[in-house]
Each structure stands twice: as structure tokens, then as C-alpha cells.
């Protein structure tokens, strides 16, 4: 049985991720007592499955933080418990929401060190894939790195940049959405002992956790802010390109400067296809783009 009621759908908006539903805004108290045994079981199965494959694939900071904040497979965590650990580590808080928020609401939460988490979890028949961010994706995928001081600062700076970008129009917002996609959702990081995952869209997916590191198909390219902001992305397949950072410090350094001159420079410049490899790229791996 799924968690009820389902979020209230307000409208659909067109983005380069396709048509995306926007839900009722506002934060909600996590209705923890209303989770069914089946809901807890979905959490348990997903948690166990990911933690089995993530050592040696997810970055050390992610795995360490997950343990430090007390996430376990036993049951769906209480937001209030996680908030105690988060607050002490970096001052971030999670707030319950119905689902996707309008961009400005989302950015405003991040700018104030609040991360919106869907309160409901997917059904058992959606274990492998769900289009909308549910509690497992948000909590398991996004929340652990909020314990990391550098990543915590990056996400706040991103939110502040997003609030400002609203004054620059749809092109700037699309470029910022690409930055989010290729870092927070699908980013890879270079550790001394090899490439690792930090993106929430990857660590919450078994298939992509393996594909992004082990498949010859996708490109793996050194992170460059302007390159990323010009690159379209796919929402219907594994990524064609992963961008690799050297440290979370690199991300915060790239994101702190005012983006206004950047938007001016990028205006009217051609976009890059999701699978493009360019002469100026720092190529770690040029993908075959063949199914494997």
C-alpha cells in the first residue's frame, strides 16, 4: 500500500527535462505515524541494496555522513532526528514537502539552508525507477552531503544564485538548472583512490551507480562551469556525460562569484549536445555511447 494521500498536482511546466509537474507548495510536517509497514519495507529494501553496492563507488564523505547522521535500514528516518545531527554539523535543516516546488520556492529554501524532502515514499512496484523525487531519493541521496561543510556552503550559494537568477530570465534559470543537474544530481568526484559518486540522482539508483563508473558508454569530463551551463541533459536515460570535480572546494570556488557577467557572456552562445566531446574538454574518458 502506498502512502496516502498523493500530492496535489497544480500544473505542468515545460523545461528541458520535458514537462514537469509542479505540486502544491508549502512545507508539511512529516506524517511519520502514517507510514505503513510496506512503506518502511520499501525504505529497507532500497537502503540495503544501495549500501551493498556503494562502498568503493560513492565518495567517502557521503558514506561517512550517512552513518554519522544515524540513517539505518531499519525504518524510514524521522526528519526531527536527522535535523538534530544536521543542525549540529552545518546548520542545515530538512523540511517536508509534497514534491517538486516552483523554482523560486526551491531556491529560497536552499538559500536559507533548508532542504525540501518529499514526505512520501514510492510503492514497491516502483523500486527501480520513479520519475518524481520521493523520500528515498531526497533523504538517502541528497541529505547526507549536507553534513559536509563545503558541500553545505555550495548548496546555499547555489540557492542564493538561483534567487538572483530569477531577475535574469529563463535562459539564466536553465543554465543554473544544468549546473544543478550535472553536480548535485549526477556529479562524480576524483578521490586519491579513484573516481567516486557524489550526485544524489546516481547514489539513489542501482543501475546508474554501476553504469556511471564502469560503463564505457558515457563521457567522463573534467568539470568546467561554462561548459556545464551550456550542456543539455537527458532525463529519460542514464547520462551521456558525467562531469568530474576534484573537490567540493572547487565547486564552491566556481559558484561564489557573481554570475551576472557569466550570463551576459553565455547569452546567445550555442548549446552543447548531451553526448558532445569538445576540443577544450579535459577528457578522462571519451564515451563509446554504445549500449552495454
Catalytic residue from among 98, 118, 142, 211: 142
Our finding on whether 103 is near ligand HBI (CB under 6 A) is yes
The distance of closest approach from Cβ of residue 139 to ligand HBI in the complex, given in angstroms and rounded to an integer, is 12
Q: Are 157 and 254 in contact (CB under 8 A)?
A: no
Q: What is d(CA 178, CA 193) in angstroms, rounded to the nearest whole number?
A: 28
In b/e form, how buried is each residue of 5-18, taking b as 16+ CB within 10 angstroms?
A: eebeeeeeeeeeee
The distance of closest approach from Cβ of residue 33 to Fe ion in the complex, given in angstroms and rounded to an integer, is 26
For ligand HBI (CB under 6 A), the number of binding residues is 9
In b/e form, how buried is each residue of 20-53, taking b as 16+ CB within 10 angstroms?
A: eebbebebeebeeeebeeebeebbeebbeebbee
Q: Of 243, 91, 131, which is closest to residue 181 (Cα–Cα)?
A: 243
Active site residue 185: yes
Point out which span in 38-46, 72-80, 86-94, 99-107 binds ligand HBI (CB under 6 A). Answer: 99-107
For the chain, give me the number of helices (H) and strands (E)?
12, 9
Note the residues at the interface with Fe ion (CB under 5 A). 133, 200
Q: Are 272 and 228 in contact (CB under 8 A)?
A: no
Our finding on whether 177 is near ligand HBI (CB under 6 A) is yes
Question: Binder to ligand HBI among 43, 180, 242, 263 (CB under 6 A)?
Answer: 180
Pick 75 or 166: Cβ nearer ligand HBI: 166
**What would the x/- binding string for ligand HBI be over residues 59 to 98, using CB under 6 A?**
--------------------------------------x-
Active site residue 137: yes
**Residues within window 114-143 making contact with ligand HBI, judged by CB under 6 A:** 116, 133
**Any known ligand binding at 142?**
yes
Catalytic residue from among 98, 118, 156, 204: 204
Q: What is d(CA 86, CA 112) in angstroms, rounded to the nearest whole number?
A: 14
**Any known ligand binding at 137?**
yes
101 binds, among Fe ion, ligand HBI, none (CB under 5 to 8 A by kind): ligand HBI
Cell digits for 4? 496516502
Active site residue 204: yes
In b/e form, how buried is each residue of 165-182, taking b as 16+ CB within 10 angstroms?
A: beebeeebbebbbbbbbb
Q: What is d(CA 19, CA 285) in angstroms, rounded to the nearest whole number?
A: 32
Give me the residues that bind ligand HBI (CB under 6 A), please.
Answer: 97, 100-101, 103, 106, 116, 133, 177, 180
Q: Which residues are annotated as a binding site for Fe cation?
A: 137, 142, 185
Catalytic residues: 137, 142, 185, 204
Amino acid at each position: 500500500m502506498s502512502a496516502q494521500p498523493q500530492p496535489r498536482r497544480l500544473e505542468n511546466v515545460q523545461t528541458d527535462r520535458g514537462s514537469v509537474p509542479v505540486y502544491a507548495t508549502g512545507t508539511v510536517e512529516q506524517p511519520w505515524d502514517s507510514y505503513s509497514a510496506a512503506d518502511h519495507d520499501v525504505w529497507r529494501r532500497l537502503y540495503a541494496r544501495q549500501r551493498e553496492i556503494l562502498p568503493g563507488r560513492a565518495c567517502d564523505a557521503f558514506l561517512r555522513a550517512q552513518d554519522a547522521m544515524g540513517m539505518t535500514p531499519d525504518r524510514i528516518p524521522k526528519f526531527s532526528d536527522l535535523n538534530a545531527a544536521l543542525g549540529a554539523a552545518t546548520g542545515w535543516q530538512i523540511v517536508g514537502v509534497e514534491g517538486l516546488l516552483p523554482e523560486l520556492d526551491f531556491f529560497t529554501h536552499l538559500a536559507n539552508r533548508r532542504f525540501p524532502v518529499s514526505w512520501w515514499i514510492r510503492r514497491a512496484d516502483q523500486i527501480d525507477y520513479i520519475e518524481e523525487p520521493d523520500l528515498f531519493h531526497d533523504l538517502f541521496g541528497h541529505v547526507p552531503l549536507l553534513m559536509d561543510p563545503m558541500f553545505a556552503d555550495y548548496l546555499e550559494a547555489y540557492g542564493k544564485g538561483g534567487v538572483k537568477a530569477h531577475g535574469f530570465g529563463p535562459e539564466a534559470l536553465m543554465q543554473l538548472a544544468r549546473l544543478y543537474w550535472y553536480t548535485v544530481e549526477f556529479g562524480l568526484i576524483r578521490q586519491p583512490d579513484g573516481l567516486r559518486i557524489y550526485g544524489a540522482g546516481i547514489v539513489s539508483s542501482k543501475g546508474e551507480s554501476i553504469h556511471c563508473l564502469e560503463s564505457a558508454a558515457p563521457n567522463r569530463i573534467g568539470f568546467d562551469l561554462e561548459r556545464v551551463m551550456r550542456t543539455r541533459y537527458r532525463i529519460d536515460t542514464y547520462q551521456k556525460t558525467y562531469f568530474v570535480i576534484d573537490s567540493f572546494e572547487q565547486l564552491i570556488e566556481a559558484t561564489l562569484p557573481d554570475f551576472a557577467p557569466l550570463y551576459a557572456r553565455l547569452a546567445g552562445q550555442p548549446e552543447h549536445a548531451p553526448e558532445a566531446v569538445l576540443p577544450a574538454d579535459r577528457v578522462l574518458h571519451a564515451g563509446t555511447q554504445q549500449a552495454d
